[in-house]
């Protein structure tokens, strides 16, 4: 029993440390990768605001174009800024040493971010920047405190400030808890429009994390139907074979 308990604690430890690190409630992203219009907008958002630093090196441009419903010429004209050929992978031109010097860390590849962190995490993270003048980038993030990533979407969202509420515990230590965000400087998008912008972007990230998932899901229904039919057929055949056996 003790061994099982220790295994359970070890399994839950990473989740507990993650919750302690950010402590932020994750909002539901409610993405729909079957929405091609959202995928197309999300692809445009990604190549314009993310692909300068973050690669998606497990995805090819032409595969992405076919899946989101655009032609190769539309791909070349609107979405290819770092690749030279439609069959290239979505890599970046930034030098790793330069990235390490500028940001302190090398920006991670985002091919699998929606699977490793979850769509809700990415959606909440991109909307949770707040002003903190003492930071090198001038901002911090509620979901990932101390993040090295600057708020690249600040022109769209504007600048928001975190409102904290606190109390003094029994030991005399001041404790503070996040209450809400307040918009200090409006951006070019309204809060509702910005949420939609981020949702489209996360929809695209959810897609590239597993480009075949739509086909996999579509294939699941006929497979299940076949298995149900085969089970009924096998049961009827079994009854026919064994009806005279006593």
What is the pLDDT averaged over residues 166-194?
86
Spell out a b/e string for 44-55, using b for 16 or more CB atoms within 10 Å of the CB, else e.
Answer: bbbbebbbebbb
24 vs 140: CA distance, rounded Å: 13
146 vs 143: CA distance, rounded Å: 10
Number of H helices, E strands in the chain: 10, 6
Which band of pLDDT confidence, cut at 50, 70 and 90, is reported for residue 40? very high
Q: Does the structure show a pLDDT above 50 at 2?
A: no
Nearest to 184 by CA among 137, 134, 139: 139
Lowest-confidence segment of 15-19, 27-31, 178-182, 207-211 by average pLDDT: 15-19
Element (H or E) spanning 2, and its range? Answer: helix 2-22
Instruction: Let me know: does 94 contact 165? Beta carbons within 8 Å.
Output: no
What is the pLDDT averaged over residues 149-170?
90
pLDDT at 23: 60
76 vs 116: CA distance, rounded Å: 30
What is the pLDDT averaged over residues 213-242?
87
Q: Does the structure show a pLDDT above 70 at 17?
A: no
What is the pLDDT averaged over residues 170-179?
77
Q: How many CB atoms lie within 10 A of CB 107?
A: 19
pTM metric for this prediction: 0.79
What is the pLDDT averaged over residues 78-97?
85
């Amino acid at each position: 029993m003790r061994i099982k308990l220790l295994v359970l604690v070890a399994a839950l430890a990473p989740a507990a440390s993650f919750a302690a690190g950010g402590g932020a409630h994750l909002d539901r992203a409610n993405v729909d990768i079957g929405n091609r219009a959202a995928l197309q907008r999300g692809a445009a958002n990604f190549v314009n605001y993310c692909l300068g630093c973050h690669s998606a090196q497990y995805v090819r441009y032409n595969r992405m174009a076919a899946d989101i419903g655009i032609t190769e010429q539309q791909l070349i004209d609107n979405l290819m800024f770092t690749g030279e050929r439609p069959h290239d992978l979505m890599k970046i031109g930034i030098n790793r040493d330069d990235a390490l010097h500028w940001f302190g860390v090398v920006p991670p590849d985002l091919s699998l971010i929606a699977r490793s962190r979850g769509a809700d995490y990415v959606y909440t993270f991109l909307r949770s920047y707040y002003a903190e003048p003492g930071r090198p980038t001038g901002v911090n993030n509620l979901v990932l405190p101390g993040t090295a990533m600057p708020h690249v979407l600040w022109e769209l969202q504007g600048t928001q400030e975190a409102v904290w509420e606190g109390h003094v515990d029994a030991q005399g230590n001041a404790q503070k808890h996040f209450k809400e965000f307040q918009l200090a400087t409006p951006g070019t998008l309204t809060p509702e429009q910005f949420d939609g912008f981020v949702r489209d972007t996360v929809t695209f990230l959810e897609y590239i994390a597993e480009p075949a998932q739509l086909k996999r899901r579509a294939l699941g229904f006929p497979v299940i139907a076949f298995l149900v039919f085969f089970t009924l057929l096998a049961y009827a055949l079994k009854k026919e074979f064994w009806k005279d056996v006593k």
